Amino acid sequence: MTLDDQAIAILRGNDRGGFTIPTRGLYPYQWNWDSAFVALGFAAFDRPRAWAEVTTVLEGQWPDGMVPSILFRRDDPDYFPGPRRWGANLGPIPSTGVSQPPVLSTAVRLLAGEDDADRLDNIFDKLLAWHNWYHTARTFDGVIATVHPWETGRDNCPDWNIGLDAMEVAPDLAPYERMDNKHVDASFRPSQAQYDRYLTIIQAGQQVGWDQARLTTEGPFLMADPNINFVLLRADRDLFTLAERLGRDQTVRNKIQGWIAKGEAASDRLWNDQLGGYAARDLHSGRFSDGFTNASALCFYAGVGAPEQRARTLQNIRRIGERVQYMLPSWDPDAQDFEPQRYWCGPIWPQMNFMIAMGLREQGEAQLADRMQSDLTRLIEASGFWECFNPVTGAGCVGSDFSWTAAMWLAWLSPSWLTRVA
Ligand code: DGY
């Protein structure tokens, strides 16, 4: 089977009827940002199916506008924490009580062709409401905040240690049994101490009845993530393009422009001058994380940074490029806690390379974009469609037959697709 055929077979195999699971076993539900990338993969060979993925992820939207990170359409005892542990039943489908990086509007802009006006019209208000939720319930002091490492998509990145170390594990935390380590090797996954804290935050969400503004201001964890801030800023720009295409009125366009101005201003708050890069920051103490991550490199994708900030960011990317075989690791190989096989402590992530390369190319850094693209191509050719990859050895990590990796192959890397989206 060619790699194209394998990628199509993975997406078809992970299709549960209008929505796709990331991989069998480890992740048996629909994940929010996974679906955005998956839609781009389907678009290479089945456009109606691509739109179905967009529609189904929005079906779980809460009345307050939030689109949850996971939709639990049915209870699967093989996954923990599932719907009962979250107890977050404010939306139309049982779900988690946190969101994920809002890549969807950008995926929709890439997807939408001339004949898609009706489809766009049907979902535009939902996208707008979701962005509005980030700009209200998840805004703290002008910056988009995050209340749970799982909301960032970069679950156990050492970035979050500042916030996690500062919080207490709930003394009455109900006992639990992890399922993730039953599916994959524990050396790939977050530690037990981190899990205790992830579950403590879930308990705090329940205690405020999943009132999201209260969880933001009163919750035990409050950090700002360059991934969410930059993905949202990019998505706001793309949503503005969609508003223009649909001829939405000036009030809507002014609102989105206000968000864009806010996002641009907020980016300086994430600039760690000592590191020479954008970094996660604790919003209670103001403390910066001190590692350069693949999210730091998304400033190009977001279209922010003064010339000096961009130059220093590029220096960091090049420094790291000399330290590893494959670009761009999720955590700095020169910082403490680098573990090249452990989830977000080092491995490279296909969907992150896609967004980073898109931004670099748009901003005139074609050579680095090419490396981001060819390194991932080599990894998939040598190891297959893994969730993520060891940047030093190239070995595949965590889940295999992974949907977003297959999608990135079809939408971006495969030499045989003439109608690729990016
Ligand atoms: C998991 O289960 O590891 C997920 O990443 C949480 O969203």
Task: Evaluate whether residue 18 is within a structural domain.
Answer: yes
Q: Is residue 260 part of a domain?
A: yes
First to last CA, the chain: 24
How many domains is the chain partitioned into structurally? 1
Q: How far is CA 246 from CA 58, 125, 130, 131, 242, in A?
A: 19, 11, 18, 17, 6
Quick check: is 111 in a domain? Answer: yes
Instruction: Clarify whether 387 is annotated catalytic.
Output: yes
Q: Which residue in the list 155, 211, 264, 339 is annotated as catalytic?
A: 155
Evaluate whether residue 175 is within a structural domain. Answer: yes
Q: What is the pLDDT of residue 416?
A: 82
Where b means 16+ CB within 10 Å and e means fewer, 140-171 reads beebbbbbbbbbbbbbbbbbbbbbbeebeebe
Residue type, 371: R
**Ligand 1 centroid, distance to 189 Cα (angstroms):** 10
- 167 CA to centre of ligand 1 in angstroms: 20
Predicted local confidence at residue 418, as pLDDT: 55
Residue among 27, 148, 156, 195 whose CB has most ligand 1 atoms within 8 A, to mutate:
27
Give the separation between CA 150 and CA 145, rounded to whole angstroms: 13
Q: Which atom of ligand 1 is nearest to the CA of 189?
A: 3
Cα 150 to ligand 1 centre (Å): 6
Q: Ligand 1 centroid to 81 CA: how many Å?
A: 9
- The parent domain of residue 78 ranges over 3-413
Is 14 inside any structural domain? yes
Q: Which of 151, 180, 387, 401 is catalytic?
A: 387
Bin 18: left if φ > 0, else alpha if -120 < ψ < 50, else beta: left
Residue 69 alpha carbon, nearest atom of ligand 1: 7
Residues with CB under 6 A from ligand 1: 69-70, 150, 155, 180
144 is a domain residue = yes
Q: Which of 31, 67, 99, 150 to mutate to test the pocket of ligand 1 (most atoms within 8 A of CB)?
A: 150
Structural domain includes residue 263: yes
pLDDT of residue 332: 98
Angle of helix 307-323 versus helix 366-383 axis, rounded to 10: 30
Q: What is the mean pLDDT of each run of 10 residues along the chain (422 residues)?
A: 96 98 97 98 96 98 98 95 95 98 98 94 98 98 98 98 97 97 95 97 97 97 98 98 98 98 98 98 97 98 98 98 98 97 98 98 96 97 98 98 98 78 54
* Domain membership flag for residue 420: no
348/40 Cα distance (integer angstroms): 20
- Centre of ligand 1 from the C-alpha of residue 155, in Å: 7
In whole angstroms, give the CA distance from residue 356 to residue 329.
12
pLDDT value of position 367 = 96
Count other Cβ atoms within 10 Å, centred on residue 194: 16
CATH number of the CATH domain containing 282:
1.50.10.10
Helix 47-58 with 104-111: angle, nearest 10 deg: 150
155 an active-site residue? yes
Q: Which long-range contacts (CB under 8 A, 24 or more apart) does 34-37 make?
A: 34/403, 34/404, 35/104, 36/103, 36/104, 36/106, 36/107, 37/103, 37/107, 37/351, 37/354, 37/403, 37/404, 37/407, 37/408, 37/411
CA distance 316 to 314: 5
